[in-house]
Amino acid sequence: MKLLAIVFSVTLAGALFSGCHTTAGTSVVLNHDTGSSLVCEGNTRLHNNLAVTGVTYDKVPNGLNRVNFQLASLVQRDQHLQYRIAWFNSEGMEIDAETRTYRPLLIHGLDSVTVTGVANSPSAVTSRLRVREERSLPY
């Protein structure tokens, strides 16, 4: 657990000094060409409840990029979250944004999960994981 805190702190420090800005939730940006990753925090409550413990990537048999994000709960209660993996081309434009919706994500207390995404285009070179708290629907 101590190693997890150190890895997350180092990654977070890199994000703070790199000028990464986001307004809600947690974002992890991964460049598939260089292998670099960046954690962006925009929700302090989520930051205290969730850690990104690893990011791996490879290619699927048809040549498209695939990414795996390992997330760990830092609290004892269940967390009802939503996540979305967005893909970007080399110019930084999001590819097919309207088809990528948020998906439900349940993480049990002090458990870890892996979320996986496959690019929807061969031109996708960068991915971004966005995680936010589940929003209640108004009745």
In the chain, % of residues over pLDDT 90: 39
**Residue 106: CB partners within 8 Å, gap ≥ 6?**
78, 79, 80, 81
Q: What is the CATH number of domain 2-133?
A: 2.60.40.3230
d(CA 42, CA 25): 5
pLDDT at 39: 66
All structural domains of the chain with their residue ranges: 2-133
Q: Is the pTM of this model over 0.75?
A: no
pLDDT digits (tens, 9 = 90+) for 82-108: 999 999 999 999 998 888 889 999 999
Low-confidence ranges of the chain (pLDDT < 50): 1-19, 21-23
d(CA 87, CA 74): 27
pLDDT at 77: 96
pLDDT at 18: 39
